[in-house]
């Protein structure tokens, strides 16, 4: 049974920081590209950051320089360090695991964790 479990969300003031964690089970974590997506009310889900099995990262323009994605394969965990948070970062943040094996895409999602940036 595949599970992605996020933690670390909460309420923070503008300019503050949060660190999100996502721990995976039921997959061979090391071969998956891991990503963080977010969805605000009334808006489409968007990619925030991703990291490949080889450690190559990709960020949305809106978070470059403020957010950092990393992974610890020994712990089956991916992190999102969020600094200099802005109200527009408020959203539900979802962890994603994706890999292609034998020409088939495997795509898994966590339940989401709420991040609210407000004074």
Count of H helices and E strands in the chain? 0, 11
**pLDDT of the chain along its 119 residues, tens only?**
999 999 999 999 999 999 999 999 999 999 999 999 999 999 999 999 999 999 999 999 999 999 999 999 999 999 999 999 999 999 999 999 999 999 999 999 999 999 999 99
CA pair distance 74, 37, nearest whole angstrom: 23
Q: Which two tokens stand for residue 112?
A: 């989401």
Instruction: Specify whether the CB–CB gap between 52 and 71 falls below 8 A.
Output: no
| Cα 90–chain centre separation | 14
């Amino acid at each position: 049974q595949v599970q992605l479990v996020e933690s670390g969300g909460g309420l923070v003031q503008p300019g503050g920081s949060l660190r999100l964690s996502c721990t995976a089970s039921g997959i061979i974590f090391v071969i998956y590209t891991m990503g963080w997506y977010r969805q605000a009310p009334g808006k489409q889900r968007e990619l925030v950051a991703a990291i490949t099995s080889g450690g190559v990262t990709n960020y949305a323009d809106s978070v470059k320089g403020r957010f950092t994605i990393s992974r610890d394969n020994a712990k089956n965990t991916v992190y999102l360090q969020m600094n200099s948070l802005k109200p527009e970062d408020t959203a539900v943040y979802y962890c994603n695991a994706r890999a292609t094996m034998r020409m088939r895409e495997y795509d898994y999602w966590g339940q989401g964790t709420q991040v609210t940036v407000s004074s």
